[in-house]
Amino acid sequence: MLTPDELRSQVAEFLAAHDPASTERLEFLRARFDAGLAWVHYPAGLGGQGLPRSLQVVVDREFLAGGAPTNHPERNGIGLGMAAPTILAHGTPEQKERWLRPLWTGEEIWCQLFSEPGAGSDLAGLATRAIRDGETWTASGQKVWTSSAHMAKRALLVARTDPDAPKHEGLTYFALDMKQPGVEVRPLRQITGEAEFNEVFLTDAQIPDADRIGDVGQGWTVSMSTLMNERVSIGGNAMPREGGMIASAARTWREHPELRTPGLYDRLLRLWADAEVARLAGARLRQQLAAGQPGPEGSAAKLAFARLNQEISEFEVELAGGDGLLYDDWTLRRPEGANFFGRNPGFRFLRAKGNSIEGGTSEILRNIIAERVLGLPKEARVDTGPWKDLPR
């Protein structure tokens, strides 16, 4: 096993051979991937060296200090956080070879075509159809809540391939080429005024069978592993004290004594303490993962953050008083990712409402915790039998 120091010297050698100042950005990133220094916990030949994930931070720090170009992970969150682990777990060797490198370098942005107007919390009820003809599948349907679809080269797609099977069993998972005539992307405007998300209409979109991920009918299993990664990544980012939504509320409090009231003060102290404890819970979760003792606490993180983000942003608008009545910009903008900062408290207040809906509603998460962590009985189901016969 490599020590952090040995890893550091690997990076130093790499930087000596590929001077960031004179190497073209993409060339540098491809070389870094090929040297196994992209994501060190990935296997050799796929951008990594099979090392513990905890060593990634060592590599990142060295590249940052060496002035290396980045792969702009913020532009490819779905790709790095969800597509890559799904491909790694369920892709063929040929698919891994073909997709992971351009994914990591950011040459190919990925998006996720899961939710539909009629399939939100009930994802397995989705209706987008894919029909096979020889070595090609033809997909048609409507997807929604797709971030990055307007920038994406590829999409993770779950589609119904067997309407006669029970709903969880008739699904198949694909990687869809977004740049083709059968794919239409339209902005979906949210309550913030922004269009961070998209609607995606598939009309006879073509998918080679070589781009199917997992077996026919295994789409639900593969989707679950994608969603698991989505939720893991929520508690996944280390952050400093006062690193979250509480930052601007606390700053406003410190800078504006005239806004302080006893009622607001009590709320601020509660929110500050809760935010700090939620941060510690995230740190503890990462320590568990690093020590090889993964626990179910990850699903607690999203619930906690959704509640905190909403309460803190509500507080912040109220604290702002008259300024809380103003909004910075209602024009339809197309941000590259969700970013709470650089906008005013009103934006944060509105955007945080999505936190308890996106990536699994808080209600669904409570069901998951109750059933999978606490072992409580499942709801009685009425949606068994062939999917095509279910009431819609």
Partner 1 sequence: MTETTASEATVNDTASGQPVADTAAAGADAAARGPGASGHNRPARTANLLYGETETELRAAVRELLADKAPWRDVLARTETGQTYDDSLWHTLAAEVGCAGLLIPESLGGAGASYREAAVVAEEVGRAVAPVPFLGSAVIATTALQAAGDTEFLPELASGALTASLAIPFAAGTRYRPEATVRLDAPQRGDERGDYRLTGTITGLADALLAGLLIVPVDSVPFGLYAVRVSQPGIGKRPLVSLDMTRQLCEVRLESVLARRVAAGQPAEQAVAAALLAGAGILASEQLGLAEQCLDTTVAYVKERRQFARPVGGFQAIKHRLADLWVSVTQARAAARYAADWLAAGFGPETTMAVALAKATCSDTALKAAQEMIQLHGGIGFTWEHPAHLYLKRAKADSIGLGTADAHRASLDVLANLPAPE
Rank residues 21 and 380 by Cβ distance to partner 1 and give the closer one.
380
**Residue 5, amino acid:** D
Kindly write out the interface string for residues 161-200 of this chain, putting x where it contacts partner 1 by CB under 8 A and - elsewhere: ----------------------------------------
Q: Which is nearer to partner 1, 98 or 267 (CB)?
A: 267
Q: Rounded to the nearest whole angstrom, what is the least distance from the CB of residue 34 to partner 1 in the complex?
A: 14
* CA-based nearest residue to 95, from 32, 34, 42, 46: 46
Residue 45 engages partner 1 in binding (rule: CB under 8 A): no
Least Å from the CB of residue 202 to partner 1: 20
Residue 43 contacts partner 1 per CB under 8 A = no
Per the CB < 8 A criterion, the answer to whether 110 and 102 are in contact is no
Under DSSP, the state recorded for 381 is P
Quick one: 207 or 319, whose CB is closer to partner 1?
Answer: 319
Contacting range for partner 1; rule: CB under 8 A; set: 131-139, 285-293, 316-324, 382-390: 285-293
Catalytic annotation, pick one of 116, 194, 199, 230: 230
Residues 13-42 that bind partner 1 (CB under 8 A): 38-40
Residue 225: name the closest of 74, 49, 89 by CA.
89
Is residue 380 a contact point for partner 1 (CB under 8 A)? Answer: yes
In degrees rounded to 5, what are phi and psi of residue 173? -110, 135
Note whether 114 and 123 are within 8 A (CB).
Answer: yes
Decide if 230 is catalytic: yes
Q: What is the CA radius of gyration of the chain?
A: 23
- Per CB under 8 A, the segment of 135-143, 151-159, 210-218, 237-245 that binds partner 1 is 237-245
Whether the CB-CB separation of 113 and 157 falls below 8 Å is answered with yes
Q: Per the structure block, which two tokens stand in for 99?
A: 């997709």
Question: What one-letter code names the amino acid at 306?
Answer: A
CA–CA gap between residue 15 and residue 270 (Å, rounded):
47
Q: Where are the alpha helices (DSSP H) in the chain?
A: 4-17, 25-34, 56-65, 77-78, 84-90, 93-105, 219-232, 246-255, 262-290, 298-319, 345-351, 362-368
Cβ at position 265, least distance to partner 1 in Å: 6
Q: Which positions ≥6 away from 13 have C-beta within 8 Å?
A: none
Q: State yes or no: residue 288 binds partner 1 (CB under 8 A).
A: yes
Which residue in the set 6, 27, 371, 383 belongs to the binding site for partner 1 (CB under 8 A)? 371
Taking a C-beta distance cutoff of 8 angstroms, is the pair 90, 173 a contact?
yes
Q: Which of residues 70-99 bind partner 1 (CB under 8 A)?
A: 70-71, 73-74, 77-78, 80-82, 84-85
Segment 326 to 345, residues that bind partner 1, using CB under 8 A: 337-341
Token representation of residue 372? 């999978």
Is there binding between residue 290 and partner 1 (CB under 8 A)? yes
Say whether residue 251 binds partner 1 (CB under 8 A).
Answer: yes
Binding piece for partner 1, criterion CB under 8 A, among 18-26, 68-76, 168-176, 208-216: 68-76
Q: Is 123 in the site for partner 1 (CB under 8 A)?
A: no
Q: Which of 49, 142, 148, 226 forms a contact with partner 1 (CB under 8 A)?
A: 148
Q: Which residues are catalytic?
A: 230
